[in-house]
Structure 1
């Protein structure tokens, strides 16, 4: 009789686990779609950078300041999540992610209709806050409620989802950019003069009243983000937070949170690591299109768009590989492979890329592939040392924000003088990252594990 009851209990538990698995897959899928909206939001400003500059009567470096403000907003969003995470239950957590997705869709839709650089800055800053909150919210949810080893693939999945969105952004924008480019030359879109003199000379009153087709790229992405938010709302109404986190047994496997006095020096190194990692990625994704058009490469809009997409294609392949590899390889090894790839590809492009288009095509893919798992692997490595799922998770965003805002702005200023300087900036940050990670490993082994 006892054995019969045990079999019934096991059968009931198995059915419950299978049902929970369906909800987990559904939640991860919709969360990934929402994360792809973040990738679209962050990436669409790359191929449309000249459009935003013209639309707000600004130079490239001036619009870069707006993008830096967006990065600061992402840090603020991460801090907000860290402050609220301990007081929120799972249901509140899921609903907060839902409403941030809905707000991001609205912001994407209104962006192309802003003709004031100040208003553009406000919208990008608010969008950055939403993105930072959502990114930390999803990753924190995974790391908090699943073990360190179990959470690795899911942390990588958020990165892949972001990358898919970033990859799709230039593809979505390409046909609209081609429609717009039929009326203007690269001289206008590169905007290398102190003001938009070429634009002002050729831009007639009739053209000013014409609906710019590039606007449709933002509207399309905004509509997609809104649709994903609606699906998220349906999941919230189904109380999915309770359904996917019913079993608490796995939480006992979480890494212990070390006191701040033990890890503050390591946190400084983690910030530097994230700074270099995100700077390499952010600068490349933002300026590869403009560099291809405005440097000695002199690519047309079509080829530059394909080069931009190739970079994100490498990111997707690298990210998917990272999801699979993270189950069998530790973060330390994955980081070493990533650092070797981004450093070698950046150096080769820096030396031969401007004179040889083939080099740019090949190593743009290699760089995108290698940089794909650098940040999430760094997060998983840090989570092995101390629990980063709660109040410490904003540490990642300090380096992320600084890397995006500072180096995007620096590159924007250098772009005015030399359009190919972006590749040299990426080379510097990539090589610097090797030194930083070496110090991280040394500190962990010689101080924390001693």
Structure 2
């Protein structure tokens, strides 16, 4: 008893340093997690700027390689092809390499390609460089989504919204940066007109053979890409710093990563999410790309009004992604997807119903942009609740989104040319909204039913485990009661009232009783 009292007296004194150390380590882990999240936000901000800088500088790049814009459209195909390859390779590597190191290396590759793009003097070299840029961007896009879920788990919905808001913010800042750092001069405009001169084309082609890689004539183009590339390089330094910090804790993280959730229909859910993102992203890019031409040709708007209509679509898109950070703290990802589907379905329906009304076009476009904003990050957060996403699985549905971005606008452009009097763009948005609105309940049912069955199976297994335990306790109690020579100590030391005895004690026919045990017939 004295030793026990001494032990209780020493335990609080010894446990105080342990508690203080655990609190300090918990704070350090929290600070490191928030710092890692901020670095990922910065990486996606640079990703948005580097992807969106191509639009306002496309004319300058065409002049730099002495080509027309129509002859340089393969640059988008090259970037999209590289993005698909980078997403696939990155999804595989993220399951076998340190994620922060792979992200840092991909950001360095993005920096190198951004530095090289203004120096390309031939169209072939520019397309190859743009393909390498798309591959590095695809790795970063896949890895950042996986890392946010790995850092925050079930609490990652607001951070996923913030991550994609950072991308939208970067895409919004890129044209402003390009306009501030790049100016059109009269010589540049004259140079554009001279592209159609055959003699000038022959001279530039001969010069291109001598200088395939040279300093651009317009230095503002170089500064525009170099500024974004420098920012991306600075972010990569922080990613490598996180790699050095996480390297010592790699064993712990790998041990904890073994405890994963996996739905019964894991592959079916990923395939359905592939289709969901294919149509969602395809409709989003299609409307954002064709709303200007649709408003001018089909509705009869002025170009300034059509440009404002295009701006309000992307403006409400970026604004709602920012507001979704706060909405995600109180709403589940599935609820946000349902609200977004209802908004996109209603707005696209009114667009088709009143396709000639400018007022309806303004209102429905703003609602449609707001409704499309939160679907992609909410979809990633939703699927993580039921099955753990690895690099391969994340790459799979990102590829679906990229294919939708490539295929649907191309098909709609062909159909719109064959049927110029029909609002093909609006029909596409309505069909995509109907498809996603029908597909999500199927995905939800497929994801939740296996969980209920698993819970019932766990309850049955727990009951089965509990029943032999109680029977063993009853057998032990019966042994103590029936075997007088096995009673140890006085009766007060072993109260029979504490034993979990059943009320029925009479033997049943067909049973033979022995000392302390029984056997069933």
Question: Structures share a fold, TM > 0.5?
Answer: yes
| 1:183, distance to aligned residue in structure 2 (A) | 8.9
Aligned pair partner of 2:271 in 268, 292, 305: 268
- Cα offsets for 1:128-183 (capped at 9, x unmatched): 21122112112212323442x12222222221111111222333345689857999
Distance 2:297 2:452 in 1: 50
| 1:326, distance to aligned residue in structure 2 (A) | 2.4
C-alpha spacing 1:165/1:293, structure 2 compared with 1 (3 Å): farther
C-alpha spacing 1:50/1:179, structure 2 compared with 1 (3 Å): closer
| 1:81, distance to aligned residue in structure 2 (A) | 2.1
What's the counterpart of residue 430 of structure 1?
433
C-alpha spacing 1:12/1:115, structure 2 compared with 1 (3 Å): same
Distance 2:295 2:25 in 1: 54
Distance 1:199 1:430 in 2: 43
Aligned pair partner of 2:286 in 283, 286, 303: 283
What's the counterpart of residue 228 of structure 1?
232
Number of residues paired by the alignment? 428
What's the counterpart of residue 515 of structure 2?
none
1:370 and 2:376 aligned: no
Is the 8 Å Cα contact of residues 142 and 391 (structure 2) preserved in structure 1? no
Is the 8 Å Cα contact of residues 68 and 408 (structure 1) preserved in structure 2? no
Aligned pair partner of 2:114 in 104, 108, 131: 108
Secondary structure of the 1:391 match is helix
Segment drifting more, 325-334 vs 280-289: 280-289
1:125 and 2:131 aligned: yes
Distance 1:42 1:428 in 2: 28
User: Please, which runs of 5 or more residues in structure 2 have no aligned partner?
Assistant: 1-9, 208-215, 454-521
What's the counterpart of residue 187 of structure 1?
none
What's the counterpart of residue 346 of structure 1?
348
What's the counterpart of residue 157 of structure 1?
162
| 1:393, distance to aligned residue in structure 2 (A) | 1.9
| 1:401, distance to aligned residue in structure 2 (A) | 2.0
C-alpha spacing 1:56/1:318, structure 2 compared with 1 (3 Å): farther
- Cα offsets for 1:186-225 (capped at 9, x unmatched): xxxxxxxxxx999848xx99xx99x887x84674254234
1:33 and 2:42 aligned: yes
User: Please, which runs of 5 or more residues in structure 1 have no aligned partner?
Assistant: 185-195
Distance 1:182 1:398 in 2: 42
What's the counterpart of residue 301 of structure 2?
297
What's the counterpart of residue 14 of structure 1?
23
Task: Give the 5 Å matches for 1:439-450.
Answer: 439-445=442-448
C-alpha spacing 1:346/1:67, structure 2 compared with 1 (3 Å): farther
Distance 1:298 1:254 in 2: 58
Bigger RCO of structures 1 and 2 (CA < 8 A, at least 6 apart)? 1
| 1:29, distance to aligned residue in structure 2 (A) | 1.8
What's the counterpart of residue 166 of structure 1?
171
Is the 8 Å Cα contact of residues 153 and 326 (structure 1) preserved in structure 2? yes
Task: Give the 5 Å matches for 1:18-167.
Answer: 18-47=27-56, 57=67, 66-89=75-98, 93-111=99-117, 114=120, 116-147=122-153, 149-167=154-172
| 1:447, distance to aligned residue in structure 2 (A) | 6.5
Distance 2:255 2:339 in 1: 30
Distance 1:323 1:254 in 2: 28
Secondary structure of the 1:393 match is helix
| 1:431, distance to aligned residue in structure 2 (A) | 3.0
Distance 1:43 1:178 in 2: 18
Give the superposed CA RMSD: 4.3
Distance 1:273 1:308 in 2: 24
Is the 8 Å Cα contact of residues 42 and 166 (structure 2) preserved in structure 1? yes
Distance 1:71 1:387 in 2: 27
Is the 8 Å Cα contact of residues 169 and 318 (structure 2) preserved in structure 1? yes
Distance 1:30 1:136 in 2: 15
